[in-house]
Structure formats: structure tokens, C-alpha cells
Copies of this chain bind each other. A is one copy, B any other.
């Protein structure tokens, strides 16, 4: 049933002159099955359960290829690691700085900000790329230091 989504993406890939390999099939189906925000490493681990020889660098290269096709997008959470997700899920990440929980919220919540920035500065935001940091409800409640 998630089969079709994988095949749809493989179709896009093939149609644009790309080749369908087991590594790519694995990465795409890992993305489809993913809980939402996954690092390249997470994906590699997931893929390696089925295809043990798929190397992390191949995962990065596959993700890069899929991003060029507009199928995948990535976001930077705190530190340095990026998280990837399918581009058709238009959402934003809210990352709690205290408990590291990632909350997904619909993209529409950025509409107001987007139009304001566009009107005032002519700047067109692409919100999907970055996470918003702050504190989730629980961690706001417990008044932790700093």
C-alpha cells in the first residue's frame, strides 16, 4: 500500500534519466515509512536492514538526487545534522530545545509571516528548510534554567 508511493517516486526518477537501484528503492521506501524527520544515518540504518551493503555515502547521494527532483527536502535541526522528508508533506518542524521533541505543524501557519515578509521586504520564504527552535508546552511549564 505504501508500495505505490515508492513506485511513483521511482517512476519520476526513471523518467528523468535516473536509474533504479536497490539502494534507491531502499532509501525511498525508508522515507515513505519514516516517522517524519529522519537523518541520513537513520535512513542508512533502515535501508541496511534489507540491503546491508548500502553505504551511508550512497544514501547521501540518493537524497541529493531526490532533492534535485523536488521529491525530498531537508531541514536543519539544532546542532548540525539535517533531517530529510518527502516534499509532499508540507509542514514545519518545531524543535524543543530542552527535550529535543520535534513537533510537526502544517505549513499554513507560516502564511501570515510569509505574506508579511513578502510585503515588507520582497522576501519569499521557503519555510520547509529550517526548523523553529523554542520550548514545547511541557518544557515551558517546568521552568528549567536558561
List residues of A whose CB falls within 8 A of some B CB: 68, 70, 76, 80, 94, 96-97, 103, 105, 109-110, 112-113, 116-117, 120-127, 129-137, 140, 146
Determine the distance from Cα of A116 to Cα of B123 in the docked complex, in whole angstroms: 21
Contact, CB under 8 Å: B133 / A130: yes
Contact, CB under 8 Å: B112 / A123: no
Q: Is chain A's binding surface mostly helix, strand, loop or mixed? A: mixed
Contact, CB under 8 Å: B113 / A94: no
What would 18 more interface pairs be, CB under 8 Å, given A94-B123, A117-B132?
A68-B146, A70-B146, A76-B76, A109-B113, A112-B113, A121-B137, A122-B137, A122-B140, A123-B136, A123-B140, A126-B133, A126-B134, A126-B135, A127-B132, A130-B130, A130-B131, A130-B132, A130-B133
Instruction: Using A121-B94, A121-B103 as known contacts, say yes or no to A116 and B109 having CB atoms under 8 A apart.
Output: yes
Determine the distance from Cα of A127 to Cα of B15 in the docked complex, in whole angstroms: 41
Determine the distance from Cα of A68 to Cα of B120 in the docked complex, in whole angstroms: 34
Kindly list chain B residues whose C-beta atoms are within 8 Å of the C-beta of A121.
94, 103, 105, 136-137
Kindly list chain B residues whose C-beta atoms are within 8 Å of the C-beta of A146.
68, 70
Instruction: Write 30 A-B pairs (CB below 8 A) sorted by A numbering.
Output: A76-B130, A80-B80, A94-B117, A94-B121, A96-B123, A97-B126, A103-B121, A105-B120, A109-B117, A112-B112, A112-B113, A112-B116, A113-B113, A117-B134, A121-B136, A121-B137, A123-B136, A123-B137, A124-B134, A125-B132, A125-B133, A125-B134, A126-B133, A126-B134, A127-B132, A127-B134, A129-B133, A130-B130, A130-B131, A130-B133
